Structure 1
Amino acid sequence: MDALEGWTDFHVAMVGATAALAGLVIVASSVNIAQIVKAPTITSRLAAAIAGLVLAIVVAGVALIPGIPAGAYGAVVLVSTLGAGAFQAHAAAVIARDPDPDDHARVLKAALGFVPIAAYAASGVTVFFDPSTALVIAAVGCIVAIVSAIVMSWVALVEVLR
């Protein structure tokens, strides 16, 4: 896809930064893993955050494949988005079932991870009609996935120590 050529530096930067962040989240989580696995909402949110980062890595990494056709890129984006979306849907369901009556941020906790999923889904569909716009949407999805994962991870790691 010709539109990808101008995005190489962005994708290289995003693959590296996102992979490093995913590794840091996993290492930071491992410090308190015993407490994390006792809290289903925290476990599911961390899994969804990591899945969002993996989605960003996959989408940016596939964009670096020389000469990849737009249809193949779009298909990978959509299939990968479904995978990460499954983790986020599971996290939302676990959060919804949490019996904590004082959890006033329940909707926000459940919704935050869907923002990058929605951006990637839009990108995966748009690439079939307007590849240049699809790449902009995917870039937004990548940046939002990073921000979302940082917020979800930080909140989860702080909550586990309460």
Structure 2
Amino acid sequence: MLEPWRDFGVAVTGASAALVGLLYVAISINLRQIVGTSVLPARALLALVLLVVPLVSTILLLVPQPPVALGVELLVVACTAGPCLAHLVRPSARPAQQTVAERAAGTVLPAGLTVAGTLVAGVLLLAGYPAGVYGVVVAALAAFTGALAGTWVLLIEILR
């Protein structure tokens, strides 16, 4: 039943792993500047967690198992990542010069959609609706957007 999603799972797993590598390069290049601030280490961890959610979700999608089992696993992923992401996007974790709109677009919205997409996918699969896997698509797109924005900040914007 989940076989048509195999190529998607392979693509997202590979893309997630490649983006984690890019993130580690960005961190290693600007490590001194990142650890020298109170905000950027959290931004780096946010990007990493955002990338781990679709990585784990699509690895689980590739495991031969019934949709209900995948639903339970996605709920575990969402319930594990959710509190971590909520902590990382809390208001005190943003730089003073960042506007509320910038914060929402760059961190809160991607984190929220990543968790919500994974949670919805898990609930729908658990309820017997295989189309719930589309929630993983939403989560992956949101996670990639937020992680790439964070990686851009850690690689380029930090030098301004």
- Taking the aligned partners of 1:149 and 1:110, their CA distance within structure 2 comes to 9
How many equivalent pairs are there? 157
> Any gaps of 5 or more consecutive residues in structure 1?
none
Q: Give the alignment's TM-score, normalised by structure 2.
A: 0.86
The correspondence of residues 1-162 of structure 1 with structure 2, limited to 5 A, is: 2=1, 4-66=2-64, 68-93=65-90, 95-96=91-92, 98=94, 100=96, 102-104=97-99, 105-112=102-109, 113-162=111-160
Distance apart, 1:127 and its partner CA: 1.0
Q: Deviations over 1:49-108 (max 9, x none)?
A: 111111101110111111x12232112111112222233112122x435562x3213343
- Taking the aligned partners of 2:103 and 2:58, their CA distance within structure 1 comes to 31
Query: Identity over aligned residues, as a percent?
Result: 33
- Taking the aligned partners of 1:97 and 1:61, their CA distance within structure 2 comes to 30
- Taking the aligned partners of 1:79 and 1:14, their CA distance within structure 2 comes to 19
RMSD (Å) for aligned C-alpha atoms: 1.9
Distance 1:8 1:128, change over 3 A: same
> Any gaps of 5 or more consecutive residues in structure 2?
none
CA contact (8 A) 2:12 2:140 kept: yes
- Taking the aligned partners of 1:88 and 1:41, their CA distance within structure 2 comes to 14
Distance apart, 1:38 and its partner CA: 2.3
Distance apart, 1:10 and its partner CA: 0.9
CA contact (8 A) 1:52 1:117 kept: no
- Taking the aligned partners of 1:56 and 1:82, their CA distance within structure 2 comes to 14
